[in-house]
Each structure stands twice: as C-alpha cells, then as structure tokens.
Amino acid sequence: MEIVLRVAVIYLFVMFGLRVIGKREFAQLTTLELVTIMLIPEIVSQALTREDASVAGALIGVSTLFCLVFFTSVLMQKSKKVEDVISDKPALLVAHGKFLEDSMNQERVTPGEVFNEMHRAGLERLEQVKWAVLESDGKISIIPEEAADRDKGVGADQEGVAA
C-alpha cells in the first residue's frame, strides 16, 4: 500500500536532511530552528497520508515508522559503517586551551557558545579547557585540564571492555 512507501520515503529524506544540516542545529533551538522543526510535520503530513482519514491508515503509518526506526537502530548496532553514515561523529572544538578554528567554523559553533558551556562547567579561561567536544547529540562537553590530568591512567584501564 502506498502509505508504507510514503512513510519510508519521507523518513529517509528527513533523516538525510537532519544528517546534512548537522548536529548543532537541533541541540539548542534558535527561533529559526524552532520554526524549521514545527514546519517539517506541517509540510510532510499531507504527503504522508494523502487525506487518509482512516484509523487503519494511521496505524499502518505509525507501525511503518516504528519499524523503520527500529531497523535503523538495528543496522547501526550491527554495523559501524552504517552507524558512521547515519549518526554524526563528535567534533573537537578546543584542544589544550586553543580553539580549533576550522572545526568550529565547520560545525558553526561560536566562541561564545563554547564559553557558555565553559561557564556551566565552572571554568572562566580557555586555558583551563583541555578538550571541548561537540558530541553527536549536539551538546558541547567540556573536559577541564585538571580533570583530564587527574584521570590520566584511569582512562587506559577503561579502554578494555568486560566480556
């Protein structure tokens, strides 16, 4: 039935679109980003169901979406390559107290945003930051110089994985 194919096509396209515009866009919603998120369902809803008012159509559409989400996560779990294609990799923004300018420009992160996260972590100067990482979910993690030094050696132990 058509609705299954429509949901699959829209799902893949939206996933592709979100992957392309980057992780930063949906982590902290600006007005523009909020409008984007609100408009997506408005735009695609007609295309998804084509005025299908039936409960059967709704159930088919929702179960199709659930199945797509589930099988996407299964593929990501099974294959590292698929995971790399679908989910964004973390990006390093600051290393040893220095901005990584190319990376910040590529990810469209401003110095002010990094400083905001530093302040939340209780840091005031860039030199106090060993690493600032833009994670896959769009959040910025701050690892202070002291914490990184203190944990040296512990990280090496953690690299092994229990069976």
Question: Interface with another protein by CB under 8 A: which residues?
Answer: 1, 3-4, 52-57, 59-60, 63-64, 66-67, 70, 74, 77-80, 90, 92, 95-104, 106, 111, 126, 131, 133, 143, 148, 155, 159-161
- Cβ-based nearer residue to another protein, 33 or 82: 82
- Cβ-based nearer residue to another protein, 1 or 37: 1
Q: What own/partner pairs with CB < 8 Å and gap ≥ 24 does 94-102 have?
A: 94/126, 94/129, 94/131, 94/132, 95/130, 95/131, 96/130, 96/131, 96/145, 97/125, 97/126, 97/127, 97/128, 97/129, 97/130, 97/145, 98/126, 99/126
CB 122 → another protein: shortest distance, Å? 19
CB 41 → another protein: shortest distance, Å? 20
CB 40 → another protein: shortest distance, Å? 22
- Cβ-based nearer residue to another protein, 30 or 155: 155
CB 160 → another protein: shortest distance, Å? 7
Fill in the DSSP letter of residue 122. T
User: Rounded CA gap, 48 and 8, in Å?
Assistant: 9
CB 46 → another protein: shortest distance, Å? 15
In one letter, which amino acid is 113? E
- Cβ-based nearer residue to another protein, 15 or 130: 130
User: Rounded CA gap, 51 and 6, in Å?
Assistant: 13
**Residue 82, burial from CB neighbour count under 10 angstroms (0-12, 13-18, 19+):** middle
- Cβ-based nearer residue to another protein, 36 or 144: 144
